[in-house]
Amino acid sequence: MKTNEGTIDRALRIIAGLALIALAATGTVGAWGWIGIVPLATGLLGWCPAYTLLGFNTCPMKSETK
């Protein structure tokens, strides 16, 4: 997996994921808030499968080819 998310993108995903999970845990938004696991995971990994499929890359550094 190549990193395809930049620093700001990753930070926003982590914040949004944590916020959704917290809202779901407190019962504010209901069960759909647990979908926050997805942006949290992609933010922590630095790789988004949707970005790969769509050809997006917000990472400013070129990834090394393996």
What pLDDT digit, counting tens, does each position of 16-52 carry?
Answer: 999 999 999 999 999 999 999 999 999 999 999 999 8
Evaluate whether 16 touches 62 at the Cβ level (below 8 Å).
no
Task: Determine the structural domain holding residue 29 and report its residue range.
Answer: 7-47
pLDDT band at 1 (very low <50, low <70, confident <90, very high): confident
Residue 62 has pLDDT above 70, yes or no: no
Is residue 60 included in any domain, yes or no? no
In a domain, 22, yes or no: yes
> Are the C-beta atoms of residues 37 and 7 closer than 8 Å to each other?
no
Q: How many domains does the chain have?
A: 1
- Residue 63: pLDDT above 60? no
- pLDDT confidence of residue 13: 97
